[in-house]
Amino acid sequence: MEKTEGGERGETMYGAVFHGVGKNVTVGRVPKPLVRNPDDVLIRVRACGVCGTDLAILEGRHPASSPVILGHEYAGEVADLGAGIKNLKKGDRVVVDPNIKCGTCLNCRSGRQNLCENYTTLGIYIDGGFAEYNVAPYSTVYRLPADMDWKDAALVEPVACAINGVRKSRIKPGETVVVFGAGPMGLIWLALAKHSGATNLVSVEISEKRREVAKRIGADTVLDPNKQSPLELIKKMTGERGADVVVDAVGNPKIVSEALKMIGAGGRVMLFGTNPMSAEVPINPYNIMHEEKEIIGSYIANYTFIPAIETMYRKVVPSDILFTHEFPLNEISKAFETHKRGESIKILIKPTK
């Protein structure tokens, strides 16, 4: 599968093509992809979420190929199949794990496919879901329930990433959980933590609008860190014991430093947001050892698409709350601007009706 490559039949489709940093994403006719390999799945894209990574690519903060069709949070219907695929049929609803793993490196063979040494990504390095059609390898395609809502389907990929982190953080009933950031991923974390049994769920967010959404998602307490010290509040709320789990869903070294002070004995700090590569945070090794504290990292999804599909099918994460805006494909530039201005929580692109 080569980026923006079409077939010999001369068929075309509409796609949103990224031409490089500082250049416009153009929506126009591009070659429609074809099934070329026995494991290819041609998908008619029904819904694709806008991710913060998309904006980072446009601004040069994340690497990507060019020209390439962006969009990696997508779902649709099977339009055609390679001859080697026996477990799907035309018309099936499917969702795509955009990260294509090699399956042969040490990490892949050790249960850590998310850390594949050779992976590539649909919607970043290979054409993705901001188009009417997309071709993905069968290894990345998961069947959805026939009656699954497209909004729920478009959240499967980010929810799969969050579930990987929730599993690692081992949230248990009755625990105090603090989530820094109430953007889309922070809100997904809140919903999953609530579902996992957290009974004292705190959202830390500077935006008043997003704090209100955090309440709707299930946060028991919301606070503005510019007006109140999260550390002081958590210590007071827990009788000086500290939180059980603190999640950095922002990617800020200052938050990481505060989180390490905020957890109590046996507490876990989950590093989920993307911190700068050069960031360094001081730690107290004795305190971590003596109180059995943990610092945990979580990167993308790792065998979590099947539970994510079930999670979204049962509407544990409310897509109707997270998706605040919806645009057709030909208005994707307006969608990016809406996202950039902070007017949205999550934006849905509908390439086809």
pLDDT at 24 over 90: no
7: in domain: no
Q: Which pLDDT belongs to residue 5?
A: 47
Mean per-residue pLDDT, 177-188 = 98
Q: Which residues contact 135 (CB under 8 A, 6 or more apart)?
A: 1, 33, 34, 35, 36, 40, 41, 42, 43, 127
| CATH number assigned to the domain comprising residue 149 | 3.90.180.10
DSSP 331: G
pLDDT at 4 over 50: no
Average pLDDT, the chain: 95
Q: How many angstroms separate the CA atoms of 262 and 235, rounded? A: 7
309: in domain: no
Both 145 and 258 in a single domain? no
For the chain, what is the domain count?
2
Q: How many angstroms separate the CA atoms of 64 and 190, rounded? A: 30
Domain of residue 265 covers 162-297
Region of 258 on the Ramachandran plot (φ > 0 left; ψ -120 to 50 alpha; else beta): alpha
194: in domain: yes
* 300-310 pLDDT tens trace: 999 999 999 99
| CATH number assigned to the domain comprising residue 194 | 3.40.50.720
130: in domain: yes
pTM confidence score: 0.94
Percent over 90 (pLDDT), the chain: 95
* 217-263 pLDDT tens trace: 999 999 999 999 999 999 999 999 999 999 999 999 999 999 999 99
Q: How confident is the model at residue 22 (pLDDT cuts 50, 70, 90)?
A: confident
pLDDT at 108 over 90: yes
Q: How confident is the model at residue 296 (pLDDT cuts 50, 70, 90)?
A: very high
Mean per-residue pLDDT, 101-112 = 97
Q: How confident is the model at residue 9 (pLDDT cuts 50, 70, 90)?
A: low
Q: How confident is the model at residue 17 (pLDDT cuts 50, 70, 90)?
A: very high
